[in-house]
Amino acid sequence: TSVDSPVFTLAIGSGLPALGLLGLGALAAALGLGGAAASRRRRS
């Protein structure tokens, strides 16, 4: 599975599903933190 976005390309192979899930979790956390920081910057 590969996901394309303007900022990054994420490719997950079926060989390491646990690492893929961990990567998705880390990616989701990073995007959430980045979005929160960006909205905080926009508001002030």
Domain spans in the chain, listed from the N-terminal domain onward:
2-43
Regarding pTM above 0.85, the answer is no
pLDDT at residue 24, rounded to an integer: 81
Q: pLDDT tens-digit profile of 1-44? A: 565 655 665 665 555 556 667 788 888 898 888 888 888 887 76
What does each C-alpha distance from 23 to 3, 27, 41, 44 come to in angstroms?
13, 6, 27, 32
Three-state DSSP class for 8? coil
Can you give the pLDDT at residue 31?
87
Task: Check residue 12 and give its pLDDT.
Answer: 57
| DSSP conformational letter for 23 | H
Q: Is 16 helix (H, G, I), strand (E, B) or coil?
A: coil
Supply the pLDDT for residue 9. Answer: 59
